[in-house]
Chains A and B, each alone.
Chain A
Amino acid sequence: MPDTFSFGIDPLTCHAWNHDHSQLALSPNNHEVHVYKWSDGKWKLSDVLAEHVQRVTGIDWAPKSNRIVTCGVDRNAYVWTLQPDGKWKPALVILRINRAATCVKWSPLETKFAVGSGARLISVCYFEQENDWWVSKHIKKPIRSTVTCIDWHPNNILLACGSSDFKARVFSAYIKEVDEKPNATSWGSKMPFGNLMAEFSNGSGGWVHGISFSASGEKVAWVGHDSSISVVNAADGSKLTTLKTDSLPFVTLTWIKENNIVVAGYDCSPAVFSYDGENVVLIARLDDSETKQQQGSKFSAMKHFRSLDNRATVESNDTTLETVHQNTVTQVTIYAGTKANCTKCSTSGIDGQLVIWDLRSLENSGSNSA
Chain B
Amino acid sequence: MSKNTRNTAFRKVDVDQYGEEVYEEDQTADEGATGPSDAEVQSMLAKGRNGDALQYVLTNAPLTSKNQGVKDKAAQTVLKVLMSLKANEIEGSLKGLDQAKQDTLMKYIYRGFENPSEGSSAQLLVWHDKLFAATGVGSIVRVLTDRKRV
Contact = CB atoms under 8 A, between A and B. Distances in A.
Interface string B97-111: 001000100000000
Interface centre among A144, A204, A205, A225 (most CB of B within 10 A): A204
Interface residues of A, number: 20
A225 B137 contact: no
B147 interface: yes
Interface in B111-141: 135-139, 141
A205 B148 CA distance: 8
Interface residues of B, number: 16
A226 B148 contact: no
Interface stretch (A14-22, A243-251, A327-335): A243-251
Contacts, number: 46
Interface in A248-270: 248-249
Contacts of A195: none
A249 B137 CA distance: 9
Given A144-B23, A165-B23, A244-B99, A249 B147 contact: no
Contacts of A224: 145
Given A227-B141, A249-B141, A244 B147 contact: no
A331 B7 CA distance: 57
21 contacts: A120-B21, A203-B146, A204-B146, A204-B148, A205-B142, A205-B146, A205-B148, A206-B142, A206-B146, A224-B145, A226-B142, A226-B146, A227-B142, A244-B99, A244-B142, A245-B138, A246-B136, A246-B138, A246-B139, A247-B137, A248-B141
Interface of B: 21, 23, 26, 99, 103, 135-139, 141-142, 145-148
Given A227-B138, A247-B137, 10 more contacts: A144-B23, A145-B23, A166-B147, A206-B145, A206-B146, A225-B141, A225-B145, A226-B146, A245-B138, A248-B137
